[in-house]
Structure 1
Amino acid sequence: MSRILVAMSGGVDSSVAALLLKQQGHDIVGAYMKNWINEDNVLGHCPWMQDIEDARATAEAIGIEFRVVNLMQDYRRLVVDYLLDGYQRGLTPNPDVMCNREMKFGVFLNYARAEGFASVATGHYARRVERVAPNALSDPNALRATPSTFALLEGLDPNKDQSYFLALLAQAQLRDALFPIGHLAKPALRELAADARLPNARKKDSQGICFIGEVKMADFLRAYVPDHPGPIVRATDGRVLGEHRGLHYYTIGQRRGIRIPSNTDNEAYVVVGKRAADHALLVAFDGPAAPGLWTSEARVHSLSFIGDPLTAPAEIECRVRYRDPRVAITFTPDPGGPDTAIPPASARIRFATPQRALASGQIMALYRGEQLLGGAVFA
């Protein structure tokens, strides 16, 4: 059996992941990734001390070794700086996707390999499946010579599927990743935790920023990004309606917090754009006619594929946000490198149905049915 390092956050999902692997006979060690301790006194609840104690108590209940791995400097450099830089440039970054790629299956996975572990396991609701080359099925020699490749499927419970957050993983990362709870529904998982008398079986799920805690994004940004006021401009006629504190507090499609009253017909304003030249926040009345709010075509960059890259036009699907359903798209990659040896880094996306409020910097996940193909970033 394998020696596996389980990323234990203190929550019930990663705890059951460790429990299942232990029951399967693997050599398991639990580890809390210490990424953030609210050392700058950001407003909001950052329960890292309690999370460590919950993870430690659960590891003791399961009967496995537990350790705390300090990755604070890497997290600040790879996730927090990415987050703050994106918002300062008017983008809408996704720290959870980046945390998975750069931390859990980057720095933390490298730590695990250096410590002699074969794999890292997490509590993500996703499924990893092994793909065997066709010629290896009938030829034992080919089977030994051909390394396995792995595909990533959505979690079986559509209400908890977290494959979107794994969209930027590479095959080398997936090869050493395990997702033991991807076949479970949440009620069944909690039942397993209760049956095993895990101390966090009824612990509420965290809704905060990845490994920071239940901190409101606006409060986090206020602590690190200086305000830069500018006009609030109606996109349809250029009329100035007010002043905002900074473009980084807003994202495309936002309705709340603009502080511009509705009109006499009770139509509410929505953010439709940001103009860097004069730091203007562009708004319009929400609806199908709002300029720039609905998109039929988009460009993406930083293409990342789990398996073979798509180098020719394809009819596939995508998810533009975590909770959004998959939507059919026509994927048209740009030319790759010399002699097409280098995969394309960008592509044009045409949606079968117009999509609302796509923002630059946002992550798009690519699918073929339930299989996650990879991801990209909206230009």
Structure 2
Amino acid sequence: MSAREKILVAMSGGVDSSVAALLLQRQGCDVVGAYMKNWINEENVIGHCPWEQDIVDARAVADQLGIEFHVVNLMRDYRARIVDYLLDGYARGLTPNPDVMCNREIKFGVFRQWGRDHGFTAIATGHYARRVLAKPALTDAPATYSLLEGADKNKDQSYFLALLNQEQLRDARFPIGDLPKPELRRLAHEAGLATAAKKDSQGICFIGEVKMQDFLRTFVPDQPGPIVRATDGAVLGTHRGLHLYTLGQRRGIGIPSNTDFQNYVVVGKRAADRALLVAFDGPDAPGLFCREIRVHHLSWIGAPVSTPAALEGRVRYRDPRVPLEYLPAADGGALVRFATPQRALAAGQVLALYRGEQLLGGGVYL
């Protein structure tokens, strides 16, 4: 990494991005920190989003490192590119992934552009992922890079980067990708960083420590409908809106288990009569498990996979990679056949595609 690089670090107020800034500074880079001000809902206060404290913490670390610090207002772009995307998806019965879209559209989209407009050569984040040189720059072509899982498999965040492209990856830096979390904490404590003991955030990228159902109830009108048992069509109750449920959900459905203590699970949504379809949880629940899905809106970090291939996929952030057969389709999407049935693949979610540790790209379930 060139010491002449001027790098803008996305400092969230957490320990990961704090150590990212620390490591870049130690490598001799010209480092500037910035907090992305993404979402403040002043009309309808819901839950707890500690953005003010996060700015205080990020600024405190910047002061300790002796680096410049900015607060970059991206609220308008965030509303248009992430919040509206999320609300529209849930209103249409989908289960969108705002964290994946946040990285493509905001961190490595408008925030990256803000950095370029202000003379920065790269954007750094606290993601547990690794960027490695795949092909050196030639006189007629820039260097190309591959994206690998983070070295700490318990913290790997490559899934959230599945929709990045090569141009975005060229400008990306992931300084902590080779570190295990305990080592990162040790570095933060040794440096006396203000965030060294701060707990990791568990919130969605823009609404903080807020339950998704509470967020949706605030912005999407209720559209009640029947709760229907998929196996026999029996009506078991009513729900407030299909947007408040997702495939595979077991808690909060609003109907009791049966006398044998079998729990119901959401297995589908029927738009025609706004029916929420449920069944007793288990491998025989209709629609809960599938071996085959279609994906669209494919995005590739390097060259697209244009012929049938044996790959691996991660269907959710915390799930392991699983073997699959990838079959490109004429419409630009693909058919994916899993080696083993996968549970609760909700339309609108993201499938990340891998070849071993290397993240190739991703697409959205149909």
Partner residue of 1:69 out of 60, 69, 72: 72
1:20 is matched with 23
**1:132 maps to amino acid:** K
* 2:258 counterpart of 1:263: yes
2:270 is matched with 275
Secondary structure in 1 aligned to 2:291?
A: strand
1:301 is matched with 296
Is the Cα contact below 8 Å between 1:6 and 1:122 reproduced in 2?
Answer: yes
**Deviation per CA, 1:12-32, whole angstroms, max 9, x where unpaired?**
000000000001000010000
Superposed counterparts of 1:235-274, under 5 Å: 235-274=230-269
Superposed counterparts of 1:335-374, under 5 Å: 335=330, 345-374=332-361
Name structure 2 gaps, 5 residues minimum: none
**Deviation per CA, 1:101-126, whole angstroms, max 9, x where unpaired?**
00000000000000010000000000
Partner residue of 1:35 out of 27, 34, 38: 38
Secondary structure in 1 aligned to 2:59?
A: helix
Deviates more, 1:354-363 or 1:40-49: 40-49
The CA deviation at 1:245 is 0.5
Between the aligned partners of 2:123 and 2:324, the Cα distance in structure 1 is 33
1:190 is matched with 185
Superposed counterparts of 1:37-186, under 5 Å: 37-132=40-135, 143-186=138-181
The CA deviation at 1:100 is 0.4
Between the aligned partners of 2:301 and 2:135, the Cα distance in structure 1 is 15
Between the aligned partners of 1:359 and 1:218, the Cα distance in structure 2 is 16
The CA deviation at 1:37 is 2.1
Between the aligned partners of 1:40 and 1:214, the Cα distance in structure 2 is 18
Between the aligned partners of 2:45 and 2:271, the Cα distance in structure 1 is 27
The CA deviation at 1:263 is 1.1
1:289 is matched with 284
TM-score, length-normalised on structure 2?
0.98
The CA deviation at 1:40 is 2.6
**Deviation per CA, 1:53-74, whole angstroms, max 9, x where unpaired?**
0000000011100010000000
TM-score, length-normalised on structure 1?
0.94
Partner residue of 1:316 out of 288, 299, 311: 311
1:225 is matched with 220
Secondary structure in 1 aligned to 2:339?
A: strand
Secondary structure in 2 aligned to 1:203?
A: coil
The CA deviation at 1:265 is 1.3
**Deviation per CA, 1:116-162, whole angstroms, max 9, x where unpaired?**
100000000000001126xx8xxxxxx44432001000000000000
Aligned residues: 363
Is the Cα contact below 8 Å between 1:236 and 1:291 reproduced in 2?
Answer: yes
Between the aligned partners of 1:189 and 1:331, the Cα distance in structure 2 is 37
Is the Cα contact below 8 Å between 1:42 and 1:219 reproduced in 2?
Answer: no
**1:365 maps to amino acid:** A
Is the Cα contact below 8 Å between 1:126 and 1:152 reproduced in 2?
Answer: yes
Alignment identity in percent? 72
The CA deviation at 1:203 is 0.4
**Deviation per CA, 1:145-193, whole angstroms, max 9, x where unpaired?**
4320010000000000000000000101001000000001111101101
Is the Cα contact below 8 Å between 1:7 and 1:33 reproduced in 2?
Answer: yes
The CA deviation at 1:335 is 2.2
Between the aligned partners of 1:53 and 1:69, the Cα distance in structure 2 is 14
**Deviation per CA, 1:202-258, whole angstroms, max 9, x where unpaired?**
001111110321111011001100011000000000000000000011000000001
Is the Cα contact below 8 Å between 1:42 and 1:223 reproduced in 2?
Answer: no
Between the aligned partners of 2:206 and 2:185, the Cα distance in structure 1 is 22
**1:28 maps to amino acid:** V
Secondary structure in 2 aligned to 1:261?
A: coil
